[in-house]
Amino acid sequence: MIRFDSIRVVNFALYTDVALHFSQDPDRPLTLIRGQNESGKTTLMRAFLWALFGQTALPRIPDARHPVRPVWAKPGESPRTRVEVRFRAGSDRGVSFFKLTRAVDTSDNGDAVAYGNESVALLRRDGDDWKEQEDEFQLLLKQFFRPEMRDFYFVDADKAVEFVGGPEGRHNDQMMRDMTTQSIRALLGLDMMLKAKDRMDDRQTSYLKQAGSQSSAAGQQDLVKELEDKDEAFKTATNRLAELAAQEREHENTLKNAEHELEESLSKLEELSATNVQYEEVTRKLNDARLKQNELLNELAACLDDDRLFAALLLPVIDGVMDKLQPLKDKGYIPPSELTLLPRLLSRDKCICGTDLLPGSVPRKHIEDQISKAQSLRGQSQMLDAALETARNFGNRAVGNVDRTWKELTESIYKELGNIDPVILQLTEQQEALREERDKAGATTGALRELQKHRDELRNMLDTLRDRRKASEVDVERLQREVRSLRERIRVAASNEKRTQHARCCAEVAEHLQTVIGAAYDVIEREQVLDVSRSMNTIFRNVISATSDSLFGEVGIRPVATQGFTKQYEVYTMEGNREKPLALANGASRRAIGVAFVLALAEETRTKVPLVADSLLHAMSGAVKYKIVDYLTAGDRIGQPVLFGTRTDLLDDEVTELLKRRAGKTYTLTSQAHAGGDVVRAVPAAKCAKQVVICDCEIDQVCPACERAGDQARIAEGRLTLRQNSEVLA
Amino acid sequence: MALPSLTTSQRSIRMVESVKERALRWSQAQAATAHRKPVDAPFKRLIDVWFAGIAWAIAHGIRPVDKCTGDKFVSVGPTNQDVRYQQSRTDFLTLIAIHEFGHEDARAQDPSAIIDLANRYAEAGIEPLLAQLDAARELSVPALYKVADIFMDKYAAAVEGHQRTY
């Protein structure tokens, strides 16, 4: 339930700053706003529409100034326009009071009006304060003032004619059906139900798609199987890693021990190095001694081949030769002297004694025989001489006359051998002793080599183990990631499955809701549209055209075609039992049927929204006006009736009387544009000549601001009262 | 003037086979066995043992055998197959021949007669020499030392009291 409390219009077109309050009196629910043509009724209506729905609610008038900008504003001026509507919204939880304010700056450069810096604020009253509804004001506004229902909140007779296909002579069935269908759907909530049903359908489709896309139970089973395999591989790899780590630790300890043992062995080896040096020294000395010994032995062996030894052993021979040959030597037989004379004699062929020594002669032959014999003995003598000399030489050597004797030589060698033998013995013993120690060292060296080899092997094994352990770590990390990934995928799959189930449930719910909405729609459509049709017929027959000469016996709403799930409606008219084409209705009948339709809809939604009707009573007979006002203001058929009308429309006495009883608030708009016309006294313009003034004169009152030509006669007749102290707004 | 060489022609050096086997034990160079050290085999060659036998016979006044019964174990001479024999040893052999045959005897200058005389002396002296050497071998003292001792004794016996000057 929405009820307007007031509207304040500041710097809006013809208005500088006016505030109107709407009737809240349940016995006098009507708010009447009257004014002659061009007095500002429509402008005030636009201010209402602009405040509630914004610029889109304003008419587009080509080549016209912007309907918001104050008419008195000069180019270059940027006045701020503001309209404030206060209303209350009731529900089962109580009534809340709101204040909606829309403001905008306009500027005019001479060619066009700029519209900017617009602000909208919705505030809720909280005690004495107003709190801005920042986050939800758009939602609230749409909830309170649905844009599609705008033409029913603010309706006029001309607008009502569109519901029956337009003015006389320009009838348009399609426009009639579209307007009728749109208004029925909007006001009865059918469009919302259709939207809701469409949304449910969309949601159902969406949920089914979700369910289809996320349904992966089989895939989830595969993932679980894969996870089990990976988990097993991960455990195996983890155990393998643990084994490798244990082996690595074990090898590290073994290597540590081996290196410790190696260090100890190295230490021992260093201790034995001195022994090695000694051993080498002794060995060297021993080798030298043995070498010397060998030399001496070779010398001793050479002694056994020495001529001095054999000369000594052969001294008997030497002495015998000496004894034989030395006398011959002493006698000059050996060596023999040279025969020099005889050859010379032979060459002279004559002896020194004078004997001829001619070849072939006996003397010569004798001499030649002597020479030959002498030469023969000379060879033997020479050999014997050599033998003598040889024997002498050997003899001298045997007894040591020429050099050291063989004995001396041999004894010296013996002596040296005798000296060196104990040395060799001693060195051999030392070497043996040192060898034993060296062997130990050698053993240590061997052990050291073995330890080094063992250590190197351990290092290699440790390196291999570390490499394998690192590879295993990488493997474990990879498997761990894969397991995590699989778990996440399974979790997602499970979540998807859950969402799938949820989506299926939602789709099912959406389907059910569609069924419910469809059923409700059918009921509403069938029942409520029928109610609207009946109300419309009742209003038309009993309120608007309840005359005997009416052309139409029955009017109403009926479905004419189906557009898928939805139906289209039209206004129908019957004459007797026969349908009469709506296109044949004249202007008055069209307004009557249109108004009946609007009022029927308003009646069906009476508790929801106010009805702001402009010129609704225009061109209607007095009886009809009376019944319409009565219909609008009696009881609670219409939520909050606000009627705009000319004074002329309301001159009927019965209507005036009825309005006096039913109008809780009455405002009269007077435009200075009429000054010099039928307005008796113009109020001095504050801004410009077009400025509207508003007074709160009742329906049977006039004041200096609104008095018009001819009112004096009515005042004189007692049909009007002249007020001198009316409240005038400008 | 030097004494003439006995090896201008090939001359056979002989030794009784059984003796030769024993003599080889004291010789460093052997055909069948590896070269032995002087300490174990004091004589370089078998011909040295042969000459030592000659010296041993003369030193002990042992007369040469009438006829050599030994077999040739080596030849001395000018060819490549012959043993090179030092001149001093052939000089000794010449002096022995002069001493044995007399300076006027032509055999004293006959190389064949000289070598034959030498072979007969060797055959006579080598046996007692080897007997003494073999007796010494039983001791643990190295052979070289024993041989040297033996010959030192013989040397001493030959030289000690010898008053002659040359």
Q: Tell me if B118 sits within 8 A of A275, measured CB to CB.
A: no
Is A151 or A508 the better-scoring residue by pLDDT?
A508
Q: Summarize pLDDT for A554-591 with one digit per residue, the tens.
A: 889 888 766 555 678 889 888 877 888 888 888 778 88
Q: What is the mean pLDDT of chain A?
A: 84
- Rounded to an integer, the average pLDDT of A685-714 is 80
Stated pTM of the model: 0.49
- Rounded to an integer, the average pLDDT of A399-417 is 89
What is the pLDDT, as a whole number, of residue A247? 85
Do residue B158 and residue A414 have CB atoms under 8 angstroms apart? no
Do residue A386 and residue B2 have CB atoms under 8 angstroms apart? yes
Amino acid at B68: C
* Segment (H or E) for A12: strand A2-12
Do residue B48 and residue A301 have CB atoms under 8 angstroms apart? no
Give the whole-angstrom CA distance, residue A403 versus residue B88: 17
- Rounded to an integer, the average pLDDT of B147-152 is 90
Give the whole-angstrom CA distance, residue A101 versus residue A84: 4
Q: Is the pLDDT of residue A600 over 70?
A: yes
- A317 closest CB neighbour out of B1, B44, B99: B99
- Rounded to an integer, the average pLDDT of A608-618 is 81
Q: How confident is the model at residue A218 (pLDDT cuts 50, 70, 90)?
A: low
What is the pLDDT, as a whole number, of residue A119? 92
- Rounded to an integer, the average pLDDT of A254-276 is 80
What is the pLDDT, as a whole number, of residue A402? 83
Q: Tell me if A583 sits within 8 A of A541, measured CB to CB.
A: no
Give the whole-angstrom CA distance, residue A187 versus residue A608: 10
Query: How far out from the chain centre does Cα A588 lie?
Result: 69
Q: Is the pLDDT of residue A312 over 90?
A: yes
Q: Is the pLDDT of residue B47 over 90?
A: yes
Measured from the Cβ of residue B23, the count of other Cβ atoms closer than 10 Å reads 26
DSSP string, A608-670: T--EEEESTTTT--HHHHHHHHHHHHSTTSSSSEEEEE-TGGG--HHHHHHHHHHEEEEEEEE
- Taking contacts as CB-CB distances below 8 angstroms, the residues of chain A near B1 are 335, 382-383, 385-386, 389
Give the whole-angstrom CA distance, residue B121 versus residue B107: 15
Q: Tell me if A19 sits within 8 A of A99, measured CB to CB.
A: no
- B156 closest CB neighbour out of A297, A315, A407: A407
Give the whole-angstrom CA distance, residue A663 versus residue A665: 5
Amino acid at B145: Y
Q: Is the pLDDT of residue A547 over 60?
A: no
The answer for residues whose C-beta is within 8 angstroms of residue B80's C-beta and 6 or more apart is none
What is the pLDDT, as a whole number, of residue A606? 58
Q: Tell me if A652 sits within 8 A of A625, measured CB to CB.
A: yes
- B1 closest CB neighbour out of A304, A385, A406: A385
- Taking contacts as CB-CB distances below 8 angstroms, the residues of chain B near A389 are 1
Least confident of A77-86, A336-345, A405-414: A336-345
What is the pLDDT, as a whole number, of residue A558? 87
Which of B5, B56, B93, B95 to mutate to test binding with chain A, by most A CBs within 10 Å of its CB? Answer: B95
Q: How confident is the model at residue B72 (pLDDT cuts 50, 70, 90)?
A: very high
Q: Is the pLDDT of residue B16 over 50?
A: yes
ipTM over 0.85: yes
Select from A634, A655, A635, A630 the least CA-distant residue to A645.
A655
Bridging pattern class, strands A566-575 and A129-132: unpaired
Q: Is the pLDDT of residue B105 over 70?
A: yes
| HSE value, Cβ hemisphere, 13 Å, CA-based, for B68 | 24
What is the pLDDT, as a whole number, of residue B33? 59
Is B49 or A693 the better-scoring residue by pLDDT?
B49
Q: Tell me if A6 sits within 8 A of A24, measured CB to CB.
A: no
> What is the 8-class DSSP label of residue A56?
G
Structure tokens at B60: 């002990």
Q: What is the mean pLDDT of chain B?
A: 89
Structure tokens at A609: 């929204």
Q: Is the pLDDT of residue A413 over 60?
A: yes
DSSP bridge pairs for A663: A30
What is the pLDDT, as a whole number, of residue B59? 93
Express as a percent the part of chain B with pLDDT over 90.
55
- A304 closest CB neighbour out of B4, B151, B166: B151
Which of B107, B129, B155 to mutate to test binding with chain A, by most A CBs within 10 Å of its CB? Answer: B155
Measured from the Cβ of residue B3, the count of other Cβ atoms closer than 10 Å reads 22
Task: State which of A71-85, A109-123, A712-726 shows the largest mean pLDDT.
Answer: A71-85
Q: How confident is the model at residue A548 (pLDDT cuts 50, 70, 90)?
A: very low
Q: How confident is the model at residue A144 (pLDDT cuts 50, 70, 90)?
A: confident
Shortest Cα distance, chain A CAs vs residue B144, angstroms? 7
Q: Summarize pLDDT for B61-71 with one digit per residue, the tens.
A: 999 999 999 99
Select from A129, A130, A153 the least CA-distant residue to A51.
A153
- Rounded to an integer, the average pLDDT of B25-49 is 81
Q: How confident is the model at residue A176 (pLDDT cuts 50, 70, 90)?
A: confident
Q: Tell me if A601 sits within 8 A of A151, measured CB to CB.
A: no
Residues in chain B: 166
What is the pLDDT, as a whole number, of residue A416? 92
Least confident of A15-29, A62-76, B13-27: A62-76
Q: How confident is the model at residue A730 (pLDDT cuts 50, 70, 90)?
A: low
Structure tokens at A476: 């474990």
Express as a percent the part of chain A with pLDDT over 70.
92
Name the closest residue on chain B to residue A313, using Cα atoms.
B59
Shortest Cα distance, chain A CAs vs residue B148, angstroms? 7
